[in-house]
Structure 1
Amino acid sequence: MANIFGKIRNLNFSWDRLVAIVAMLTSTCALLVSAYETSIMKKQQYVQVWPYVVHTLSNHTTSSEKLRKMDLPDSLDLNEVSLAFKNKGLGPAILEEIEFLLEGKSYESGEKMMNEAYKSFSDGEDYLSTSFSSLSKGSVIMARAEHVFFKMICPPKMARTFSELVSSGRIQVNFRYRSLNGDCWWLKKGDVQAGEECR
């Protein structure tokens, strides 16, 4: 046993060196753990500002309560149809580019496109009310919010025709939107497609 301790003494063993080596290993491990945590936090932040916009088409019978508010008889058979955009993501969607298409033809505003589309779906009938909201570059759709682009109260046949025009892609509102991190997506024909980096 004394022989073993003698060999250790001959190696010039120093407790100071051992403590220094352990301290270096500990600090290296702490640095690696810190870098890993930073990486995870960056990914979490990235996901926390990620928007996901979908279009929603709604067509339902107008409630008798709503008809009364409009000073109309309860027995009137009317539908309320709307086209909206809902941000199901966790962060705001910032619109970068927008296109309004009717039968493949581009229009400079949604209102002009819808006025032209009205000729296609009116079939001689008239609507009771319509409302538009503007969508333009720089518009923001907040997380979990819905932006109603177009709403109309009209006879059921007109509402069905409008719904078919949107569902078939003959009426389209497409736009490119970005997250706060600068990542872009296109909402085209109701589908979300990864876009190029925003410029």
Structure 2
Amino acid sequence: MSALDIIPLPGQPGKWGRRVLVEAWIEAGSPPVNDGGAGRLYDLQKYFWDGWADRLPGFNPADNPDDESQRLAHVRFGALDITPTPERVRRLEAAGLIRPYSYEPWHFELPNIRKYSIVRALPASATGSAGTQEGIIMAEAIVSAPNGVVVHLRTGGKTNFTKPGEYNTFRDQVAFLRDAGATDLMPLPPLDKVPKITWDTFNFLCAYLGAPNK
């Protein structure tokens, strides 16, 4: 996969797709994409699949991202969920997208979807290093894992702070840069205000952000 093949959907913060998909969507008039209805990283799909396979409360049916015989169009970054109207359907189909599921009329995807690979991480060219770049919102979270390590989670990565001094130094540096207008990083809470979370929540956040959980 080329680093240039995954690009943001203009005007749709936090949503990505294959370049060919985004170009077709633009050709169709850039209709609004539903929340969670664009590219979905492997780890997040795996989280949904594991929850469904274990029949955990709150999990809906989900495809196994390790079974590549399935279409897995969102995990291949080749599908968009768009509320259908006759005009949107006409434009999207004219742009080359298909609707393979009669029971999901909102689901539009590229033809021959299995030829595209599963996407496990966003290319650096798509995310940038921090803040907002080319319309992409970089999500962040500061949490205390059950092992006591404070973790700065961000889209595509994380930083562990095993000692209070490490975190406080980072917090001071971020505050200095924010005051100077030199960063879009979130303001960091005092160490005693960092929320403590469970491993389940930690793994969910890592999957959602595409950050490593080890």
Q: Same fold (TM over 0.5)?
A: no
Task: Name the larger-Rg structure.
Answer: 1
Return the structure number with greater relative CO, CA threshold 8 A, min gap 6: 1
Higher strand share: 1
Higher helix share: 1
TM-score relative to the length of structure 2: 0.23
TM-score relative to the length of structure 1: 0.24
